[in-house]
Amino acid sequence: MKKLSKRHSSCPVLKGHGFSRAVKRFKWNAALAAEGMQMVEQEASGHDFSRAVKRFKWNAALAAEGMQMVEQEASGHGFSRAVKSPKKTWALAPEGSFSRSNLKFRLFSQHKKAISFVTIVLVGLIGVALVGCNHTAQQSLAPAATPPFIANTAPATQLPVQQAKPSKPWEKIPTPKLHEFKPHQPQRIELKNGIVLFLQEDHELPFVSGSVLIPGGSRDEDLAKTGLVGIYAQAWRTSGTAKLNGDALDDLLESKAAHIETGADVDSTALSWDSLKGDSDQVLSLAMDLLFHPQFNMEKMRLAQQQEATSIVRRNDDEAEIAGRESSKLVYGPDSPYTRQPELATIGAVGLEDLKAWHDRSIGGKLIVSISGDFDPAAMEAKLRAAFEGLPAVKIAPSRHDVFAGPKPGVYFIDKEDVNQSNVQIVGLGTDRRNPDVPALAVMNEILGGSFASRMFQKIRTEMGLAYAVGGSYGYAWDHPGEFHAMVLTKSASTVDATTAALAEIDGLTTRPFTEEELARAKDNILNSFLFRYDTREKVLAERVRLEFYGYPANYLETYRAALEKVTVADLNAVAKKYIHTDKLAILVVGNGPEIKPGLDELKLGPVQTVDITIPMPRQK
């Protein structure tokens, strides 16, 4: 910079506070602008300004914009938007004239606070002086003309600059075709009594794991004893067997770094185990003992009931738990087998005999036994046959005939005054996986709210800034209709705006046609996810067991993936018009009522209905 000042001392120098610490308080004269403008003329064809420009990927169009804004904004509003950024670097040098390294400097320090108004005015004044010196400074060391705003001379001309397209080298990277999807299927063995065995060899690590999936879950329990299956699943493991009680079993397994666990779901219960290869025979024997000879203990049952009671009295602590639970009730109904919840009275009605009866009944169903890990398949098959082949023929559970009416449209509200946000749930009735439209629905879901690039995320969070969590999908379950479910988490004051925006994006599925770009991105996301969802043999085994449990064909994953690849834009538009109906959706808001302004009535979707989530106390005997 010192060299530059000496060589172009004929131009007037504007003194002031300087641009930033990067300028190092050297005097910057108008000749620098002249060289910069000369460079724009010479290099506007798209060549980079300097190595500094290459480093920041800044092309000639940006410099042209900055110089143009100097003329237009000489009143003191600043150079241009580029100047506002505290992380830009401006290098002005004609090709081959001065050392490029001497002409690099930062406009603003990264750690400096916002520029004061006075500094911005000075920037504008300096910029005007630079433009005024343009014509004369291009002559070798010739005296510069007086700036036009001082001498009222002819205005500086605006140089036409060819707009250079930003470089996107990543778009040139070739994308290889996905490998053919052929997961390593386990060996399936069906015993004469109907019990199914799956063996999945995997010798990568010296571990062996297994499970027994048992039909029957919470949807099958007595309404008056809702919560029975949850208590059963816990007391089953903690009680142990006649040979080894639960506490002793804990100690033995801990000494071997092994596990045996029990659990329950809405449609099944399960026993699972894992251990090192050297202990696999012993741990398998312990698991089979627990499966066939459980010893339910009164003390352990009471402990399970106490823990369940604690969960019940605290179920309204978390707004997310409230929103998920109550929105499902709107879809399926409060008394549906899929939404009914344990109460203090119903878990208190469960006795030890109920646990024994449940176990005896469920163990006679179609068991699915699966083993994965480092084992000899022939030897493992022999062990499992010895354990299960002598059982009676399985009893197939009768088909279910549940009725699903869907929600009553409207706005529902749950007041929770200890939060400063709103959890908005927009719900409706979905479908099941046997529906041939599921592949197209899966792609539609990805476009609606399945990723950062989805419509809901880009509009509501990125563009409007109304939510920190947002998403949505048309759900499908394995053996009953799932839920259409869209969710928005937003601050209390923006509840109405965020809800309105979410409804608009949902409705937009039927009014805004899908694009080929959206289709390609969504399909890529889903198809690529298979690489991670089924990247181990154990995961493939778990999925195969699930398909067996719900009665789907063994090649379902392959056919489903192939169907995804065939989805077209026309398919998306068709399923959106067929399944998306905003007039059939219910809206549940869990939030702080006094802070939600404007109120929910501004949604203009009918009267707001309050949902009662009071926890009923058991009647005194």
Within a domain: residue 538? yes
Q: Which amino acid is at 332?
A: Y
Bridge partners of residue 115, in order along the sequence: none
Indicate if 24 and 160 belong to the same structural domain: yes
Indicate if 146 and 16 belong to the same structural domain: yes
The DSSP secondary-structure symbol of 215 reads E
Q: Closest Cα to residue 506, out of 567, 454, 432, 431?
A: 454
Indicate if 20 and 58 belong to the same structural domain: yes
**Percent of the chain whose predicted confidence (pLDDT) is above 90:** 68
User: Which carries the bigger pLDDT value, residue 79 or residue 283?
Assistant: 283
Indicate if 144 and 212 belong to the same structural domain: no
Q: How many domains does the chain have?
A: 3
Indicate if 341 and 193 belong to the same structural domain: yes
Indicate if 422 and 371 belong to the same structural domain: no
Residue 25 has pLDDT above 50, yes or no: no
Residue 50 has pLDDT above 90, yes or no: no
Indicate if 374 and 424 belong to the same structural domain: no
Mean predicted confidence (pLDDT) in 198-205: 97
Q: What is the pLDDT of residue 158?
A: 52
Within a domain: residue 322? yes
Q: What is the pLDDT of residue 65?
A: 43
Phi, psi of 616 (to 5 degrees): -70, 140
Within a domain: residue 616? no
Within a domain: residue 402? no
Helix segments in 178-318, DSSP class H: 228-239, 246-255, 280-292, 298-313
Q: Which of 388, 420, 452 delimits the end of a domain?
A: 388
Q: Which of 142, 171, 200 delimits the end of a domain?
A: 171
Residue 568 has pLDDT above 50, yes or no: yes
Indicate if 162 and 22 belong to the same structural domain: yes
Determine whether 304 is exposed, middle or buried from the number of CB atoms within 10 Å of its CB (0-12, 13-18, 19+). Answer: buried
Within a domain: residue 398? no
Phi, psi of 529 (to 5 degrees): -65, -20
Q: Concatenated DSSP letters for 58-126? A: --HHHHHHHHHHHHHTTTTT-S-HHHH-TT-EEE---TTTS-GGGGEEESS-TT--PPPHHHHHHHHHH
Please state, in angstroms and as integers, the Cα–Cα distance from residue 57 to each residue in 68, 80, 166, 315, 496, following that order: 20, 18, 8, 54, 42
Indicate if 161 and 196 belong to the same structural domain: no
Helix (H) or strand (E) holding 503: helix 495-511
CA–CA gap between residue 415 and residue 524 (Å, rounded): 41
Q: What is the pLDDT of residue 155?
A: 45
The DSSP secondary-structure symbol of 315 reads T
Q: Among 139-148, 277-286, 569-578, name the one with the lowest average pLDDT.
A: 139-148
pLDDT digits (tens, 9 = 90+) for 318-359: 999 999 999 999 999 999 999 999 999 999 999 999 999 999
Q: What is the pLDDT of residue 86?
A: 36
pLDDT digits (tens, 9 = 90+) for 141-195: 344 444 433 334 444 445 555 566 677 787 788 877 777 778 899 999 999 999 9
Indicate if 256 and 383 belong to the same structural domain: yes
Indicate if 596 and 448 belong to the same structural domain: yes
Within a domain: residue 617? no
Mean pLDDT of the chain: 81
Q: What is the pLDDT of residue 175?
A: 75
pLDDT digits (tens, 9 = 90+) for 386-397: 999 999 999 988
Q: Concatenated DSSP letters for 391-424? A: SPPP-PPPPP------PPPEEEEEE-TT-SEEEE
Strands (E), 446-502: 469-474, 476-477, 483-491
Within a domain: residue 176? no
CA–CA gap between residue 380 and residue 195 (Å, rounded): 15
What tokens appear for 291 in the block? 């499966």
What tokens appear for 41 in the block? 């003329």
Q: What is the pLDDT of residue 621?
A: 63
Q: Which of 353, 388, 423 delimits the end of a domain?
A: 388
Within a domain: residue 221? yes
The CATH number that applies at residue 605 is 3.30.830.10
Indicate if 448 and 365 belong to the same structural domain: no
- Domain range for 42 is 2-171
Q: What is the pLDDT of residue 161?
A: 55
Mean predicted confidence (pLDDT) in 468-480: 96
Strands (E), 120-267: 187-190, 196-201, 207-215, 259-264
Q: Closest Cα to residue 201, out of 282, 284, 95, 277?
A: 277
